[in-house]
Structure 1
Amino acid sequence: MDSIIFDLDGTLWDSSDVVVIAWNGVLKRYKEIKKEITKEDLQGIMGLQVKEIGSKLFPYLDEVTQQKILKECCDVECHFLSNQGGMLYGKLEEVLKVLSKKYKLFIVSNCQSGYIEAFYKYHKLHRYFIDFENPGRTGLSKGENIKLIIERNNIKNPVYVGDTEGDQKAARFAGIPFVFAKYGFGEVSNFDYAINSFDGLLELF
């Protein structure tokens, strides 16, 4: 193994406490929205792309309105996270520091442009990662973005660490092993390795 590619939400951090405040501030301005978003709602959409999120959270709205509202939510969310950050999982930087001395580290997340940058900016963690990708920049699926990272950085033997069934499918699409982060938001039935906490990676690798 020469590298580790990480999912972000539910794997490296939990941003939902901050995001729910940012989103509800936006939603209050739209009379067609029937209810506030909860933290559980947000955790249920982690790992989905924006189009999927719109149909899941606002099925009573047309797609154009869904996307308009979500774009505004995402823009405000990145501003909030750049200034407040999220909740990092235990010993995150300590573990990244150790891993980065032995492996090349990357992030591939199903998020908008600016989201990973907000994670980097507030928590000062960019130094540990070589590269990152997301559909906000490429318009590609998570599996395609993983393959793009592999090709762009000439990676030979990577693994992908994530917490949802979508992460597992993306790793399979890219043809690489999947490490299930059990402490995250999702349930996964088929995986190559599993960790109960982020520092479990030190025992695994």
Structure 2
Amino acid sequence: MNTSLKNKFDSIIFDLDGTLWDSSANVAVAWQSAKQHVDYIKEDFTPELIHTITGMTYKAIFETLLPYLTEEQREEFKTYASKYELEILCDKGGDLYPGLEDALKYLSSKYKLYIVSNCQSGYIEVFFKISGFEHYFQGHQCYGTKNQPKAENILDVVKDHNLQTPVYIGDTMGDFTAAQKAGVPFIFCDFGFGKVEEGMVATISGLNELKELL
């Protein structure tokens, strides 16, 4: 693997879904539960369907999956979905990707670590509760906090923590685009839910590779 990225960054900002864990199976369970409260949802929510929208903002997710609903219906369903999502994930969690703690332990000894995700408020905290890995990170930001684009949240973390040379690690084209807009180099995780063909500074096929790359 190319080791030219060693000592080039002072910090690492991670995406969450598709990068650190996969919670899609239990998110599908949660949204199916939410569906029971309304009579206007046609779809069954499956892990495969969840994969197609992972990385989008919460607002964009339901606009994409449920375009036939009124804005009021989408907002009502989103309220139920977000409630069940946090409750079920808090109990059942998601699947942590192999080598995660080993990578975080190594990286946190050399870099400041952060998370920026397009998730709802409370979701990153659930990840921390389930994984027990909060102590490896020095901060986080999500779409649910200010309802602003991921690029803006990356910039907020960079500014708030006075980061000089950060790198963003994610798994979708949306992650790459956000990093690019924020002026932050991008490392692509090809084991996640998306595809990025070019423009990244490196590609990894497992979190354990970060120890050699960085």
Q: TM-score range by the shorter chain?
A: over 0.9
Q: How far is 1:123 from its partner?
A: 1.3
Q: Taking structure 2 as the reference length, what is the TM-score of the superposition?
A: 0.93
Deviating beyond 4 angstroms after TM superposition, the runs of 4 or more aligned structure 1 residues are: none
Aligned length: 205
What's 1:157 paired with? Answer: 165
Q: How far is 1:29 from its partner?
A: 2.2
Q: How far is 1:176 from its partner?
A: 1.0
Stretch deviating more after TM superposition (171-180 or 79-88) = 79-88
Q: How far is 1:40 from its partner?
A: 1.1
Q: How far is 1:106 from its partner?
A: 0.2
What's 2:129 paired with? Answer: 121
What's 1:139 paired with? Answer: 147
The one-letter code matched in structure 2 to 1:186 is G
SS at 1:133's partner residue?
Answer: strand
Stretch deviating more after TM superposition (114-123 or 62-71) = 62-71
- Does the 8 Å CA contact 2:66/2:74 hold for their aligned counterparts? yes
- Seq. identity, %: 44
CA shift digits 1:32-91 (9 cap, x unpaired): 111211111101111101221111111110122112211221121111111211100001
Find out whether 1:95 has 2:69 as its counterpart: no
In structure 1, what is the Cα distance between the partners aligned to 2:163 and 2:182?
A: 12
SS at 1:185's partner residue?
Answer: coil
C-alpha RMSD over aligned residues: 0.9
Find out whether 1:192 has 2:195 as its counterpart: no
SS at 1:199's partner residue?
Answer: helix
SS at 1:106's partner residue?
Answer: strand
SS at 2:207's partner residue?
Answer: coil
- Does the 8 Å CA contact 1:50/1:67 hold for their aligned counterparts? no
The one-letter code matched in structure 1 to 2:50 is L
